[in-house]
Structure 1
Amino acid sequence: MTDRKTDWQDKIDARVQRWVRDDIRKLAAYPVPDSSGLLKLDAMENPFTWPPELQQQWQAALADVHVNRYPHPEAPEVKQGLRRVMDIDERWDLLLGNGSDELIQLIAMAVAGKGRTLMAPEPSFVMYRMIAQYLGMDYVGVPLTERFEIDLESMLARIDSEQPALIFLAQPNNPTGNLWGDEKLRRIIEAAPGLVVMDEAYTAFTDADYLSWLDDYPNLLILRTLSKVGLAGLRLGMLIGDPAWTTEINKLRLPYNIGNLVQAAATFALDHFETFEQQTQELVKQRADLTQQLKALPQLTVYDSQANFVLVRTESGRAGAIHQGLKDAGVLIKKLDGSHAMLADCLRITVGSSRENARLLVALTPLL
């Protein structure tokens, strides 16, 4: 029996090695740690649930949704709600995705080709690099400065030499949390020969807003998501821009990618968006308090953030032990040490409620 199982596995392995691309087999899947029983401060989620009366109304709305039929392919009610709460002009098209990750992939697919390059400052959102690898694109990461600022001269030089088909600019940047300044961003967009996508996943936590820049640049698209404001479980991202771009990208979208339940829940949430705006403003306040408290702790370098997380750097070689110590104490944060050379000894902490942040600090302080 053992010999038969070994022979069977050998046959499977031989076919996998023959038919799955070598570069894919060398990759690791995106890691999502088990957070069971832990205070979850690792994934930039809104910690607040909905008020009980709003939950009851939402459940009643979902009771009228029938899942025996396919969803509307364009989710018009969701788009109408997004236009209203985000003040999106009718000139611009909206393309919805199963989270912004799907849209990043669709955008890259639309411009991918032999010798085509995807570019982004680094460190930034890891999916830019991963999706470029999936599609066989050349990926160029342009290093940020020691303080995680854009090195404009270096960025412009690489744009000139690489002629990227696609540039992603995350503002605020993940995982550093900072903004890079309008002048630098405009210079990059103006120098880009191809498409530039401004990834505004964390726009709810900053005053920076680049939607109006669509009037200025024909090669710009805006990417947003509802995940960070309190709807992470819906997986709903949106791409905003000129129909000339979105029409082509939409050809690559799989049909019915936004299900009936997601459309109904998102439409309801957008009709009550003031609740999420209030929660977001509370998180901005908590971010300021948490940043101040972290800066008061010894042996931590704390980076100011415009997002719903705070990046910290520990003393050399201590990040792993602190991460594990927090986990042992029931608190899960993100260990970035080892993910990128510029993030050595770094940890990323999601801003939680006042009670959650207090629990984090109690657990963290004796570990330093």
Structure 2
Amino acid sequence: MSDSSDSLAPILQRVIRQDIQGLHAYAVQPSAGLVKLDTMENPHRLPEALQRELGERLGRVAINRYPAERGDDLKAALAAHAGMPEGCGLVLGNGSDELITLLSMACAKPGAVFMSPLPSFVMYGLSAQLQGVGFVGVPLTADFELDEPAMLAAIAQHKPALLYLSYPNNPTANLWDDAAIERCIDAMAQVQGLVVMDEAYQPFASRDSMDRLRRHPHVLVMRTMSKFGLAGVRIGYLIGRTALTDEIDKLRPPFNISVLNAEAGLFALEHVDEYARQAASIREQRQRLYAALQALPGVQPWPSEANMVLARFPDAAKTFAALKARGILIKNVSALHPLLANCLRLTVGTPDETGQLIAALAECL
């Protein structure tokens, strides 16, 4: 077969958007044989008895049929688990990423602007770009807190259709000041925009936004089962007033949650005690890791409300390479934003993995 890249070039140039050609696909670091602490996954497997029970249950699923009412069962179970307020609805997504895409599609009116503090989850800005929508990122303070005056000024100037607030934030892992968030929510009401509270890391945080959802009709709460312990299952969900969720649900692809994923999600919600035990272990190891980082010379960690810890190192690239050489994979976020210079993001692992990470850091530094 002859090389078709040359003959395809003019076709690609004509039919593929120029901004898409300039993008890079999402890169996943190879992790075979490494202690994987780079993507904020729950490190715990199910106990063997539950693994067998789940396997038998999935084996009985009618995979020859399209998903139907089992998705409705999952929506009802998630609504009960989250304590969904009266008058609200729930939209299922193939992870939070798909929900962000649906929100972007729904709100991509000509001249629309989306907004988020920065640094934060990269998909907010990318999804806006892919829908041809303007995006305004408002830098956090040097300590990764909301710059409230800058936020309020940007909201008044740009009148965003969507404001994303990651709570806790990724990659900084902190919960922002509640009073500042409330004033941003009030400012968004003045410009008739929506606020999306992205609570991907809610299982590890001390506060959530369900009360905000009850009090403010223009607030939505987005969560995922990935950090709960089902990253491989890809289930996200968005809760808001039914008038909002009904519109967003119109854009959801048919059968976007497979019968196997729905069944695995329902199984997990029937065993919340096991996942709560895992979350408690992660919170315990998070404090252990944070204390160890505090004791290292030249290292500045930030308090975390998620299943990761952000820390600034004397030389992030050197430390990243040294850890990888010792069989431990973390995330170098230094290039994501100027405020993250020399910062590494370390996912919280099992007690054994945390011990290995702490020992390796001591050797590196």
TM-score by length of 2: 0.97
In 2, the alpha carbon distance for the partners of 1:109 and 1:349 equals 33
1:46 to 2:45 alignment: no
1:348 to 2:345 alignment: yes
Letter in 2 for 1:83: A
**Superposed displacement of residue 73, structure 1:** 6.3
1:58 to 2:54 alignment: yes
**Superposed displacement of residue 364, structure 1:** 1.6
1:320 to 2:317 alignment: yes
After superposition, where does 1:56-95 map in structure 2 within 5 Å?
A: 56-72=52-68, 75-95=71-91
After superposition, where does 1:1-368 map in structure 2 within 5 Å?
A: 5=3, 8-72=4-68, 75-192=71-188, 193=191, 194-315=193-314, 318-368=315-365
Q: Which runs of 5+ in 2 are unaligned?
A: none
Q: Number of residue pairs matched? A: 362
**Superposed displacement of residue 285, structure 1:** 1.0
Contact in 1 for aligned 2:145/2:177 (Cα 8 Å):
no
Contact in 2 for aligned 1:98/1:258 (Cα 8 Å):
yes
In 1, the alpha carbon distance for the partners of 2:106 and 2:147 equals 28
SS at match of 1:248: helix
In 1, the alpha carbon distance for the partners of 2:223 and 2:252 equals 17
Q: Which runs of 5+ in 1 are unaligned?
A: none
Letter in 1 for 2:323: L
Contact in 2 for aligned 1:85/1:273 (Cα 8 Å):
no
Listed one character per residue, the Cα deviations across residues 15-49 of structure 1 (whole Å, up to 9, x for unaligned) are 11111111111111122111111100001011111
In 1, the alpha carbon distance for the partners of 2:26 and 2:183 equals 33
Letter in 2 for 1:291: Y
Contact in 2 for aligned 1:73/1:258 (Cα 8 Å):
no
Letter in 2 for 1:306: E
**Superposed displacement of residue 57, structure 1:** 1.2
In 2, the alpha carbon distance for the partners of 1:310 and 1:242 equals 34
**Superposed displacement of residue 366, structure 1:** 2.0
Letter in 2 for 1:326: L
In 1, the alpha carbon distance for the partners of 2:79 and 2:247 equals 21
Contact in 2 for aligned 1:73/1:256 (Cα 8 Å):
no
In 2, the alpha carbon distance for the partners of 1:209 and 1:9 equals 50
Letter in 1 for 2:356: R
In 2, the alpha carbon distance for the partners of 1:227 and 1:268 equals 14
In 1, the alpha carbon distance for the partners of 2:223 and 2:339 equals 26
Listed one character per residue, the Cα deviations across residues 128-172 of structure 1 (whole Å, up to 9, x for unaligned) are 111111111111000000000011000000001111111100000
Name the stretch that deviates more: 266-275 or 66-75. Answer: 66-75
SS at match of 1:28: coil
Across the aligned residues of Structure 1 and Structure 2, the Cα RMSD in angstroms comes to: 1.2
In 2, the alpha carbon distance for the partners of 1:208 and 1:108 equals 27
